[in-house]
Copies of this chain bind each other. A is one copy, B any other.
């Protein structure tokens, strides 16, 4: 159970950190929007505690990136005073809960626990992009609601790109994510080309309105038409 705390106030951050570590979560922290975005990009968190007023921007931007990347993390928004506006925008953007400063640490722990509880129950996780929907749990793919067959690696690759739609990804990153660590500094990427060809064929045959475009000299990028 991995949590990211995004909070610029050092004292509060450490207070939260301590409480959650004591509750046996794996916790990381970020003090700024920039740092938070970077970490979210790299790691998958289960829950994010998100302050809105940050020195270099609004926490809501972090939330936007999170949703754009289709990350499944639960989000608890934390904001000074009860700025109704932020609360509404936050919940609109898909936050799971809202906590107003100041708050009791026990209250925080309870909210975190309940986010996890809800995440456990709603087993209907899915990722959608255009007319393509995938269900990671069962490794199923639906196009316009019709199921379509993908082989293991094909699914892994599609899943990878649907997590990062519209973003260019290098072949090295893709290889590491789908094939594992030991392949990272590969001398040739023929195995990617081969899988790409098959996956693209399947997507086009199934009339998906998404497409994996190549970024010459770099990698690939999933685009919606």
Q: If the complex has contacts A139-B182, A182-B139, are A21 and B26 also in contact, measured as CB distance less than 8 A?
A: no
Count contacts on A: residues with CB < 8 A to the other chain. Answer: 10
Residues in B neighbouring A139, C-beta threshold 8 A: 182
Asked if A17 is at the interface of the complex by the 8 Å CB criterion, the answer is: yes
Residues in B neighbouring A26, C-beta threshold 8 A: 26, 28
The count of identical subunits is: 2
In the complex formed, the residue of B with least CB distance to A137 is B182
Complex Cα–Cα for A26 and B26 (A): 9
Residues in B neighbouring A28, C-beta threshold 8 A: 21, 26
Beta-carbon contacts under 8 Å, A126-144 to B: 136, 139
Asked if A18 is at the interface of the complex by the 8 Å CB criterion, the answer is: yes
Beta-carbon contacts under 8 Å, A1-29 to B: 14, 17-18, 21, 26, 28-29
Q: How far is the CB of A217 from chain B (nearest CB, A)?
A: 28
Q: How far is the CB of A195 from chain B (nearest CB, A)?
A: 16
Complex Cα–Cα for A21 and B21 (A): 12
Residues in B neighbouring A29, C-beta threshold 8 A: 21
Q: Are A18 and B17 in contact (CB under 8 A)?
A: yes
Complex Cα–Cα for A14 and B14 (A): 9
In the complex formed, the residue of B with least CB distance to A5 is B21
A-B CB contact pairs (8 Å), 11 listed: A14-B14, A14-B18, A17-B17, A17-B18, A17-B21, A21-B28, A21-B29, A26-B26, A26-B28, A136-B182, A139-B182
